[in-house]
Structure 1
Amino acid sequence: MDQPRSSDEATVEIPESKSGRSKAATIAATTKAARYASGGGGWKRGVGIFDFILRLCAIVAALAATTTMGTTNQTLPFFTQFFQFQANYDDLPAFTFFVIANAIASGYLVLSLPFSIVGIVRPHAVGIRLLLLILDTVMVAVTTAAASAAAAIVYLAHNGNSNTNWLAICQQFNDFCQRVSGAVVASFIAALIFMFLVVLSAVALRR
């Protein structure tokens, strides 16, 4: 049978003060935010380093496309100096646009390197990533348009088109066709890298 408690054994519950609870909640929230920021910063810094490496690769591809196409010309050797067949890249507007577009992309990539470095040093900087995302998207459109236009001309040079009486010239101008084909491939590689850069920036901003 339970014995009644004496007055000396009575327990007194002291309610926790509101100020104490608010301080504890603030400390916990601050600690959690610091841990989250530290983890997110490391992840975004890794994305920034990968972004920088991709930009270097894109510079190589875009410059290769520009210089290869811009220095492409061939003269058939079995004609006299008064009667020659020549093939120059600037004979076709699509190839001229190709050189200009890839030169612009190359210049932009060089100028974007400092911003990419800032993104590594300050991984939580949103404005820089947003700016690079917008400009990279523009460069995707420019390089893709230039590479596609040049690819159409290269296809006609290799295969011709009997319906429009476009003759295949690559049997005669073999070196010319090989160089412009290599330039087009390099430009598509640069466009693909730009797409990866856009995805990286979008993921970093989303997280």
Structure 2
Amino acid sequence: MTAALRATGIEKTYGQGTTAVHACAGIDLQVDAGELLVIRGRSGSGKTTLLNCLGGLDRPDAGQVWIGEHELTAMREADRVELRQRHLGFVFQGFGLLPMLTAAENVEVPLRIVGTPADLRDARVAELLDLVGLSGHRDQRPGELSGGQQQRVGIARALANEPQLLIADEPTGQLDAHTAASVMDLLRSLTTQRGVAVLVTTHDPLLAGRADRVLQLHDGALAGTP
């Protein structure tokens, strides 16, 4: 297996002295290509902080993060931004779609950012909307879509630049049980059919059942096989 993500000794602390909160306390982690890894933990356990450090949205206080062969933690900010744009996809609990844009236009945004030619953008958007089952909704805006449909648009957008790693922070947190299961099934299919590495946080034990591995985050430490 090829490691899409490898992290060693990740530390992140907020505050000082007796009030310090150790959100990440020397975390080691690896996610392989084609693997779905779920991290569980109660609210406030540090799941989002960990994902932000792993995805280059925040810098850890200590430790190293590798995305493929690239050491993310050693990069300048501009280089980290470019790596995120080309090698990582992010899915958020709150969907994060631009309300004034259609579903197709939302998916197209990452392609525009990296300068993909218009004809290739159109083909890629069509492919991705078909992948997530929304070909018939390309011209609808987020306010005209259900929560599950919005999250599928978010997943399509995250896949626009063919990332080697997809990071999803509580992607089903605002969805009902049936819709949540269908979103997790979609994430599962990305690993088996496309070889994408998927790292997901969730508090739902039923959704965790679709994972290859499940780790528990507690007091800044991971329990399980990193």
Would you say same fold, with TM above 0.5?
no
Higher helix proportion (structure 1 or 2): 1
TM score, norm. by length of structure 1: 0.25
TM score, norm. by length of structure 2: 0.23
Higher Rg = 1
